[in-house]
Amino acid sequence: MSTLVLSEQEVVRREALNKLRALGIEPFPAAQYPVSHTVVKVKEAFKDAGHAEGEQPEANVVLAGRLMSVRVMGKASFAVLRDATGDQQIYVNRDEIAPGEDKTLYNEVFKKLLHLGDFIGVRGFMFRTQTGELTLHVKELTVLAKSLRPLPVVKTDDQGNVHDAFTDPEQRYRMRYVDLIVNPHVKETFLKRTRIFNAMRESFQHAGYIEVDTPAMQPIPGGAAARPFSTHHNALDTQFYLRISNELYLKRLIVAGFDGVFEFSRNFRNEGMDRTHNPEFTIMELYVAYKDYRWMMDFIEGVFRKVATVANGTAVAQFQGKAIDFGQPFKRITMCGAIQEKTGVDVLNADERTIGELCKKHGIEITAAMGKGKLIDELFSELVQPELIQPTFVMDFPLEMSPLCKKHRDDARLTERFELYVAGFEVGNAYSELNDPIDQRERFEDQVKLMERGDDEAMFIDQDFLRALEYGMPPTSGIGIGMDRLVMLLTDNPAIQEVLLFPQMRPEKFE
């Protein structure tokens, strides 16, 4: 049997909990509380009003929230109440919140049994203090939920040094619920994240495209070159995989007759973790019939411009000291041309051995499992990608790198593919989609050969997807956008963990 070990402050709070109940006050009441305003609505409603101190108008403002600070001054106190929209100063007078001569609610409850972090409800009227601060004069006070753990309290000493700030990244990610309470800028990141998603969604809906849902558990992990997570479905007695992409299902819907479909999907890849990679992440994928990758570049450039403006009020985003301008036309370069400019070698016409030697020359570690496409990708990632700060479309990937992409109309060694790079990392990946089922089957078979060489990211053959293509898919352009990375860019956060509410971490051990 385990024993709960409590800190001194936690013991005090549990004792207060018991004393509240002894006074007949339930610290976790079940009944709904009749909130009339949020803090932001109060500030809007009374921005040009507010009664002078001493007047007693009708107590018709009801707020609820977390107690964040208290200044007790004898029989009166000022406190700060925080709800989901902001902070509001409240004024509590001993003689006004309890009937008759019973001062227990103030002397015992408010002064001794309530603590920072507790949820309370207050009813009263708005007035302005002598300093002009809009304040709620409390006439009724209700305990709504007792906080049994103390919040981190940030203190600043006389020299301006900050103490006890909740800044340790591991603690913040593990206890995001505390992080969001005590670090207001973190909450703003996630509010902005919602605005970013909504702005993109509205762009697609305005264009007439349909939002859909596709399976997160798939019998074959398709649509990307990545190592999947696997799981066993007991009822079907079948091995399933968490999706690495929703691409092949969305293309099935283009086959089915939709002109444009999109999905914000949670994807899972059993790979490394760093500042731009998390095993669980969100991708938006869009597929539009009768379009190609050139059209998609123009379309998505406009979408990014709108989303950046909605997020920050301007098309220029500040990211880690750099001004990223989504308002200017995005630069366009070719992958092999960019590598040749850096190395002097035409990798498109070079053989696998030559490219491997070029990798070694530039200190890039290679293995026997890497084919020509993977080697070119490594060269690009090492030599070109870090310098792509402003939004840049990198076009025309070698055929070996793009098993789901249509061959280039002007050069069969290339594909009609682009990736969008910003601030040195990839944000989007798009194709003129491969809709020839015979060519697609051959590409899948080439992937199997790479798998046999030891490439654990090579694609499986999806026979059902091939069957769907055999029913006919019109010319189509598709794009996948890494939404977490886009949020990083537009909120000036250097790590993907900062824009995920609950990033993956090693499980915590509890005694």
Residue-wise pLDDT for 14-47, tens only, equals 999 999 999 999 999 999 999 999 999 999 999 8
Distance CA 418, CA 433 (A): 12
Please give the CATH topology (third level) of the domain spanning 8-145: OB fold (Dihydrolipoamide Acetyltransferase, E2P) (2.40.50)
Query: Which band of pLDDT confidence, cut at 50, 70 and 90, is reported for residue 163?
Result: low
**Radius of gyration over alpha carbons of the chain, in Å?**
29
Residue range 359-412, pLDDT digits in tens: 999 999 998 888 888 899 999 999 999 999 999 999 999 988 888 899 999 999
Domain boundaries, the chain: 8-145, 185-216+243-330+390-499
- Which secondary-structure segment (H or E) carries 142? strand 134-145
CATH H-level superfamily of 185-216+243-330+390-499: Bira Bifunctional Protein; Domain 2 (3.30.930.10)
Sheet arrangement for strand 392-395? 210-211, 260-268, 280-289, 476-482, 425-432, 417-422, 392-395, 331-334
Residue range 264-283, pLDDT digits in tens: 999 999 998 999 999 999 99
Instruction: Read off the DSSP letter of residue 224.
Output: S
Distance CA 299, CA 6 (A): 57
Q: What is the mean pLDDT of residues 410-438?
A: 95
Is 398 exposed, middle or buried, given 0-12, 13-18 or 19+ CB atoms closer than 10 A? buried
Of the chain, the percentage scoring pLDDT greater than 70 comes to 94
Task: Give the burial string for 227-263 (b: 16+ CB within 10 Å, else e).
Answer: ebeeeeeeeeeeebbbbbbbbbbbbbbbbeebbbbbb
- At 301, list the tokens: 């450039």
Task: Give the burial string for 198-210 (b: 16+ CB within 10 Å, else e).
Answer: ebbbebbeeeebe
What are the distances in angstroms from CA 460 to CA 214, 236, 369, 447? 19, 21, 16, 7
Q: DSSP assignment of 335-354, as one string?
A: HHHHHHHHHS--TTTS-HHH
pLDDT at 53: 56
Residue type, 508: E
What are the distances in angstroms from CA 504 to CA 182, 269, 401? 22, 12, 29
Q: Which residues contact 50 (CB under 8 A, 6 or more apart)?
A: 126, 127, 128, 134
Residue range 55-90, pLDDT digits in tens: 667 879 999 999 999 999 888 999 999 999 999 999
Residue range 293-339, pLDDT digits in tens: 999 999 999 999 999 999 999 999 999 999 999 999 999 999 999 99
Q: Which residues contact 79 (CB under 8 A, 6 or more apart)?
A: 67, 68, 69, 70, 71, 89, 90, 92
pLDDT at 449: 80
Residue range 95-118, pLDDT digits in tens: 888 766 678 889 899 999 999 999
**Strand, coil or helix: 502:** coil
